[in-house]
Amino acid sequence: MYCISCSADLSEGAEEPAPPAAEPQPEALSPALAALAPLAQVSANPFADSPPAHGAGPIQPIGDVQAWYRALCCSTSGLLYEDPYLQVGLRITATGPSAQVGMFLGNKAGQALERLVCAVPPAPAFTLALGSAPTVIEAGKQIMVPLEVTCLAPFTAPPTLQLGYTLAAEGRTLARTLDLPLPVTRFCQPVDVPASVFTARWAQVAGAPFKLSQPLKSSAPAPEQVAAVLGSLHLLVLDGVDSTPGTVCAACVFHCGAPQARQVPCMVKVEQVEGHVVVTVATADAMTTDSLKRHLVQQLDALV
């Protein structure tokens, strides 16, 4: 239903690179972005006045919402949510601390979806500007709602989408809050680091809260699988850093801040420790370390 076709240097004394030039926005986003509304106008609970369902039970998704989320974190487009009546697809363009999200909401039902709720509540680490959405999606129709995001600071949780509608003829409603696929890695840029620099900087980060480790719960994924996941999350897998069999090292720079840009160099090791695969993240910012470690573990645990 939905249509979405539509190098930093970590060595001593090096200057931080300027953020890359902004890429052109997708054409589908441009017209609506001109009329963005600040999220301060969005209700803290847009579901408060939704009528209760008086027919069948609440509307449920027809797939794994968490799996859709994880897949979108590694991609620029895909499915965020789907139930028997509504399909929501996203297209995401990110550059440095900024992201533009096109949300495509398609009505699969043979009747209108009424009392539509499409809201993104405020989040302290972001500026969020959401385009207007109609209150009704007619049968068989699709709408696109743009969202413009700027990451201001390190964060532990991504922004969320409050999604709801009423299927009047059947007396059924949807009221659901979804995580948007805007994790810390969405604002990361791969960076090439010489092996000697990586090793020296790794040793300089002594421990918590700037260097954190966590074992995976799942069976040990192959190093090739680990490298593929890290690459899809905007980290650069580095060769020649650690010759220990099965160890994967990677680096990136996390971008945040506006108008004053900030860049946080990040280093990652995934290695075998006493029969377990352990993810270790080291950065100069405690919250970035924790957020990146949690997200990488979530993504890697889903491999098996």
193's torsion region: left (phi>0), alpha (psi -120 to 50) or beta?
Answer: beta
pTM: 0.82
Residue 95 C-beta-side C-alpha neighbours within 13 Å: 11
Mention every residue, 6+ apart, whose C-beta is less than 8 A from residue 24: none
Residue 34 has pLDDT above 50, yes or no: no
Residues 6+ apart with CB under 8 A from 283: 205, 210, 254, 264, 265, 266, 267, 289, 292
Give me the chain's average pLDDT, please: 86
Region 154-166: mean pLDDT is 97
Owning domain of residue 203:
186-301
Secondary structure of residue 227 in the 3-state scheme: helix
Decide which of 123, 149, 182 is a domain's last residue.
182
User: pLDDT grade, residue 14 (50/70/90)?
Assistant: very low
Give domain status of residue 8, yes or no. no
pLDDT at 230: 98
Asked whether residue 152 falls in the same domain as residue 243, the answer is: no
Q: Quote the CA–CA distance of 285 and 280 in Å, as a whole number.
A: 14
Sign of CA dihedral 225, 229, 234, 235: negative
Instruction: Return the number of other C-beta atoms located less than 10 Å from residue 208's C-beta.
Output: 11
Six-digit token pair at 10? 């970590």
Last residue of a domain, one of 120, 148, 182: 182
Q: Do 203 and 228 fall within a single domain?
A: yes
- Same domain? For 168 and 225 the reply is no
User: Has residue 51 got a pLDDT over 60?
Assistant: no
- 251 shares a domain with 125: no
